Amino acid sequence: MNVKIEEGWKQHLQIEFSKPYFHELTEFVKEEYKSANVFPPGKEIFNAFTHCPFQETKVVILGQDPYHGVGQAHGLCFSVNEGVRTPPSLVNIFKEIKSDLGHEIPGHGSLVKWAKQGVLLLNATLTVRQASPGSHQGKGWEQFTDAVVKTLSEEKENLVFLLWGAYAQKKGAVIDQKKHLVLASAHPSPFAAHRGFFGNKHFSQTNDYLNKKGLPVIDW
């Protein structure tokens, strides 16, 4: 099956694209785009991979569902297009970066700059119906993104995985912690951030680890 995805990712994930579940997922997603408003726009479903090629990946942040409001989702977890109001979880991420590293909070919520430096911003589910959170869960995306995490863990070394919240931590259970740094904390949502996301210093810890491994640090 010819999936339009960055070439390095295509080579490493080709076996997934040929599995029956992925064919079923593709048919489901195609029908959804025909019959409903679905986000992100079709050409942006694999944006996380487009902006962060397999060979360049250094850091992985796991999200759950794309944003389900008009104009928000563009294929990168936690990120929104410039000009779109910054969602509460991302506001809290920026607050922690300011506390941890002293960076000023940006005037927009696009994280493309991170992705282009090797941060894979991966949602567990890559599509969603408008105003219907979780509507594309259980259709195959989770199996695909589980394979992405497993492939990264097995095929690369010295990655940093940021697992925020119980869902991401469960999804990251397959990561080989002998080869990679895994940082876990509460989720940055307003409901959970005060239970351990604030003060986790994940951004400085990530850069300290990359620096120690002789890799370029991330300009958060």
User: Could you give the residue numbers annotated as active site?
Assistant: 65
Nearest to 206 by CA among 176, 185, 192: 185
Tell me if 59 sits within 8 A of 180, measured CB to CB: no
- The phi and psi torsions of 30 (rounded to 5 degrees) equal -60, -45
Angle between helix 20-35 and helix 141-155 axes, rounded to 10 deg: 130
Q: Which residues pair with 128 in a beta bridge?
A: 39
In terms of C-beta density within 10 A (0-12 exposed, 13-18 middle, 19 or more buried), how is residue 204 classed?
Answer: middle
